[in-house]
A and B are shown apart, each in its own frame.
Chain A
Amino acid sequence: MTSTAELAEDATRQILTSLGAAERGVVVDSPPGAGKSTLVVRAAAGLAESGEPVMVIAQTNEQVDDLTDRLASAHPDLAVGRLAAGGYLPAPRLAGHEKVTVATKAADLEQCAVVLGTAHKWATVSGDLRWPWAIVDEAYQMRSDLLLRVAERFDRALFVGDPGQLDPFSTVDTDRWAGLTWDPMQSAVAVLLRHNPDIAVRTLPVSWRLPASAAPAVSEAFYPFTGFTAATGAGDRRLELLARPLGRNGLDQAVDMAAGAGWALCELPARHTVRTDREAVLACAALAERFLQRGAMSYSEQAVAGVPVTASRIAVGTAHRDQAQAVRQVLAGSGLREVVVDTANRLQGREFDIMVMLHPLSGRRDATAFHLEAGRLCVLASRHRHACVVVARAGIPELLDAHPSTEPVYLNQPVRFPDGWEANQSFLAHLSQFTVRLP
């Protein structure tokens, strides 16, 4: 794995050095778990130490706190500012760092070398405060119109994000802006590149999160043009189940399959169901529970001796809120409140040992644009360090084949790749080798 590690380190170093030469900025595409935060922290510190104050723009308070914590831990004597909205309670993990100042006014943080805040908070900053550098995290989830509100604060910027994840969306009809280079609906990166075509786009080539079993499949389905590899080799990650199967049962087969191959497709009998398909919901919960009952142990480069997989290291991902709600209730019933259950949107950027996902197309009769969105599937399929189990009703391939492709096409609107329909086909083709039928 040294080779891949070096590959990753070279890429990062090149990016950091390229910042010096950059006229306007650099865009870095980062596949799942490729060390995006590490890059942000190193870039922020590097620029700060070279005497250039940096503003860091993240999308959620969670992300800001996380970055602040990492930065302060890595560089204890760096003056770090946490720009926050009124009524913000500093996260406990920030308490330890005495060089971290929290303030609601940017002006109060002028002495800080690095100031971090959410995009929405930055958008409220007024006056002529300016930073020579900005680092925009999760830039593919940031909407163009939000960037417009903060862009006057910086001269040059490093945009970091995962192009495979969910696009920004709106609740209103946005066709009237279709084709405009400043269409407010596109991502911050898209608008930036359309107006500054000579900004370099670099990629982080190695995923530290995804195991060797997952990287190729995810890369091929969701990152067809850039592509990436796993940092770890086939042998470096292992999932062992201490307890024996509780009986010859589909659930156990799926769990064993996932532990062995890193993937499993739990196929329920074909049926058109309501969104909160009871059987599917129960299956998701049961699988999460079964991993715990079987005493799953994870062995990795980080824990060579192995550590037990705790409930909080397992996540169940769904497409819709009501589905997550249903799974949550079942798990709560068996006292497993620590298992993280949420929608793709909210699982973005998070990492777990084991992922159980309810396939967005499971039980659907017609595939809508929402269900087909490549980003949604990509998020759910790329959260895990060890194994991913997909729960789905049979018949999705037929569903995809029968899907009418009649969306309107707008002129001068760049085609979004990968196409959700294609990505679904490719991902499903991969999964089919790991099929286990339930019940």
Chain B
Amino acid sequence: MSGTEARLARVRGRALPRSHNARTIAALAANPGCARRAIMDAAGVDKQRIAAYTGYPAPFGQSRFALARGTAFEAQVKASGAAGLLTLLREHLDLPIPEAHYDDLNDVGGNTDLTVRYAATRQKLATAVTSAADAGTMFDHPLLRLEVGGRHAFLEPDLIAFQLRGRFHVVEIKSFAVIDGQADGDKVAQAAIQSAVYVLALRQALAGHGVAPETVADETILVCPKDFSSQPAATSVDVRKQLTVLRRQLSRIARIDDLLGQLPPGLTLDLDPDGAGVPQRKPAGLAAAIRAIDARYAPECLNTCEMCFLCRDEARGTTARLGRAAREELGGVEDVPAVLRLARGEHRPEEEGDLAEAAALLRSAAALRAEILGEAV
């Protein structure tokens, strides 16, 4: 175990490591500047659990209705050897009729062990490239692997299609609707970056077999219900941008040591479970440990990160909590009391100083509000 891994293990404590999945890797791009998130993810900490334990449960849960719809839609698209999907691929990418193979990689002869499935996937995909005929067309739930911050994350794309112009195409099946050719931009963005994760992983998996990266198309296929029906429709999504972002983020995680170096030695987020596995650690103590890791809170975290409520509470009284735009408009001044002191002229920084212009800006804003509302700000 390398020094880094040891350090990360100490941070995580006795809890089992949470391994990355496409969603968590995609989330890295949401707030890459946040050391707290980077370290907790790299260490495989169960953020959901930790946040709740410290009294700040994450604001988002999953509705069983949504889950059900998701699984039902994927099942429908993949029913009878993915007949529905095959039709889409034929129409959408004029897949030739003989290309109708369907390989189920959900298990290997009943065995669902990840390493076994990973091996089987690589073998199947590799032969698909190398052998000429009968190469296989659709690979259901192949298992891929990506190295994230020194640890392997197993990834499971919905499906990979091959032999579309001799290239692999990642197929992402999502249950949000595409209505009149357009869908929720944020959901598509999510899907796009997740697909990019798969493209990257697939390229890595095949690199070992001397397969060129371009063999995996950076154009992925998004399959969603059409309009208000449950009929599937396919759209190509160009993930070149997402790939560049992702590569950069992953290389930054690799540099996790720099972040670890800044931590107080011996810092751990261990819950200190007793014999029965019941946590004994004082929530306050845990929270203090978390606060020892720098966070970069922005309101957008509320939609993406399990730690958001803790960080938001920590950010009380800062302009960051009001949003990126507001902080910018308040002259980049860090916290609210300081803003108000400057606005009221209680604090007059010397000319040309750091705060001089911010002060001037805030004073004139305050003056205008006072003049119009007839009461001092």
Contact = CB atoms under 8 A, between A and B. Distances in A.
Contacts of A179: 181-182
A269 B354 CA distance: 11
Interface stretch (A30-38, A89-97, A273-281): A273-281
Nearest to A416: B241
B348 to A, nearest CB: 16
A357 B181 CA distance: 42
Contacts of B33: 398, 401-404
A365 B328 contact: yes
A273 B332 contact: yes
B357 A411 contact: no
A403 B181 CA distance: 30
Interface in A406-439: 406-412, 414-415, 417, 419, 421-422
B216 interface: no
Given A175-B185, A411-B182, A422-B244, A278 B32 contact: no
Nearest to A402: B33
A175 B327 CA distance: 26
A178 interface: yes
Contacts of B30: 404, 406
B331 interface: yes
Interface in B290-319: 296, 298, 300, 304
B5 interface: no
Interface stretch (B68-76, B186-194, B260-268): B186-194
Contacts of B252: 401
B238 A415 contact: yes
Of the candidates B237, B252, B332, the one having the most CB atoms from chain A within 10 angstroms of its own CB is B332
Contacts of B248: 401
A385 interface: no
A416 to B, nearest CB: 9
A364 B324 CA distance: 11
Contacts of A409: 185, 188-189, 192, 237
A178 B235 CA distance: 14
A405 interface: yes
Interface residues of A, number: 35
B182 A407 contact: no
Contacts of A130: none
A272 interface: yes
A155 interface: no
Report, as a range, how many residues of chain B touch the other chain: 35 or more
Contacts of B31: 402, 404
Given A409-B188, A411-B235, A366 B324 contact: yes
B181 A411 contact: yes
B240 interface: yes
A364 B328 contact: yes
A278 B353 CA distance: 9
B29 interface: yes
B148 interface: no
A277 B357 contact: yes
Nearest to A180: B181
A410 B29 contact: no
Interface string B237-276: 1101110110010001000000000000000000000000
B205 interface: no
Contacts of A414: 238
Given A401-B248, A404-B31, A411 B327 contact: no
Given A366-B328, A403-B32, A406-B300, A276 B357 contact: yes
Contact of B332 (A272, A405, A419): A272
B183 A274 contact: no
A278 B235 contact: no
A415 B296 contact: no
Given A365-B332, A366-B328, A406 B189 contact: yes
Contacts of A365: 324, 327-328, 332
Interface string B168-210: 0000000000100111111011001000000000000000000
Nearest to B354: A271
B67 interface: no
Given A175-B185, A179-B181, A179-B182, A401 B32 contact: yes
B185 A404 contact: no
A273 B357 contact: yes
Contacts of A407: 185, 189
Contacts of B296: 402
Given A175-B185, A405-B29, A415-B240, A278 B192 contact: no
B361 interface: yes
Contacts of B182: 178-179, 410-412
Contact of B185 (A273, A274, A408): A408
A274 B331 contact: yes
6 contacts: A274-B358, A278-B352, A406-B29, A407-B185, A409-B237, A415-B241
Given A368-B324, A403-B33, A422-B244, 14 more contacts: A273-B357, A277-B357, A278-B352, A278-B356, A279-B352, A366-B324, A405-B241, A406-B30, A408-B184, A408-B186, A408-B189, A417-B240, A419-B241, A421-B244
Interface of B: 29-33, 178, 181-186, 188-189, 192, 222, 235, 237-238, 240-242, 244-245, 248, 252, 296, 298, 300, 304, 324, 327-328, 331-332, 352, 354, 356-358, 361
